[in-house]
A and B are shown apart, each in its own frame.
Chain A
Amino acid sequence: MSKQEFIESGILESHLMGLANEEEQQLVAEMMLSDNAMSEYVNDLEDDIKRYFAEGSVPPPEAVREIILLRSIREKKGPSNYGVGETVDAKQYLDVEVNDTHMKVHKLWRPAFIAVFILSKIFLIAGLYFYFKSVAQQEEIDKIKTEMQQNNP
Chain B
Amino acid sequence: MNELERAGNGVNGQAVSKPKTLTSLEVYDQYGAMAYGIILQILPQVHLAQEVLVSVFSSPQLQSCNSYPFTFAACVIKLAREKAVEAKRKLTALVPAGAEYASGDTSPQSIFDLAFRQGFTPDEVAGKLNISKKEVLHSFHEFFKSYRNA
Which residues from chain A sit less than 8 Å from chain B, CB to CB?
7-14, 16-19, 29, 32-37, 39-40, 42-43, 45-50, 52-54, 56-61, 64-65, 67-69, 71-72, 75
Q: Which of B61-90 contact A (CB under 8 A)?
A: 69-71, 73-74, 77-79, 81-82
With contact pairs A17-B78, A19-B115, A43-B2 given, residues A36 and B13 touching in the complex (Cβ less than 8 Å): yes
A50 to B6, CA, bound (A): 15
Q: Which of B109-150 contact A (CB under 8 A)?
A: 115-116, 121-122, 134, 136-144, 147-148
**A-contact bits for B26-48, CB 8 A (1 contact / 0 none):** 00110011101110110000000
Neighbouring B residues of A14 by C-beta, 8 Å: 122, 137, 140
Flag if A50 contacts B74 (CB, 8 Å). yes
Contact pick for A18, options B24, B41, B82, B141, CB 8 Å: B82
A53 to B71, CA, bound (A): 14
Q: How far in angstroms is the closest Cβ of chain B from A63?
A: 8
Flag if A65 contacts B74 (CB, 8 Å). no
Q: How far in angstroms is the closest Cβ of chain A from B108?
A: 9
With contact pairs A39-B10, A58-B33 given, residues A68 and B15 touching in the complex (Cβ less than 8 Å): no
Number of interface residues of B (CB under 8 A): 53
Flag if B141 contacts A9 (CB, 8 Å). yes
Neighbouring A residues of B121 by C-beta, 8 Å: 19
Check if B107 is an interface residue, CB within 8 A of chain A: no
Chain B binding surface SS class: helix
20 intermolecular pairs with C-beta atoms under 8 Å apart:
A9-B137, A10-B142, A14-B140, A18-B81, A19-B116, A32-B15, A39-B16, A40-B10, A42-B16, A46-B71, A47-B2, A49-B73, A50-B77, A53-B37, A53-B38, A57-B36, A58-B36, A59-B36, A64-B54, A72-B58
Q: How far in angstroms is the closest Cβ of chain A from B79?
A: 8
Contact pick for A17, options B13, B53, B140, CB 8 Å: B140
Neighbouring A residues of B9 by C-beta, 8 Å: 39-40, 43
Chain B residue at minimum C-beta to C-beta distance from A68: B57
Flag if A49 contacts B122 (CB, 8 Å). no
Check if B23 is an interface residue, CB within 8 A of chain A: yes
Neighbouring A residues of B78 by C-beta, 8 Å: 16-18
Neighbouring B residues of A17 by C-beta, 8 Å: 77-78, 81, 115-116, 140
Chain B residue at minimum C-beta to C-beta distance from A65: B28
Q: How far in angstroms is the closest Cβ of chain B from A75?
A: 8
Neighbouring A residues of B115 by C-beta, 8 Å: 17, 19
Q: Which 4 A-B pairs have the closest CB atoms?
A: A18-B78, A10-B137, A10-B141, A13-B140
Chain B residue at minimum C-beta to C-beta distance from A37: B10
Flag if B53 contacts A7 (CB, 8 Å). no
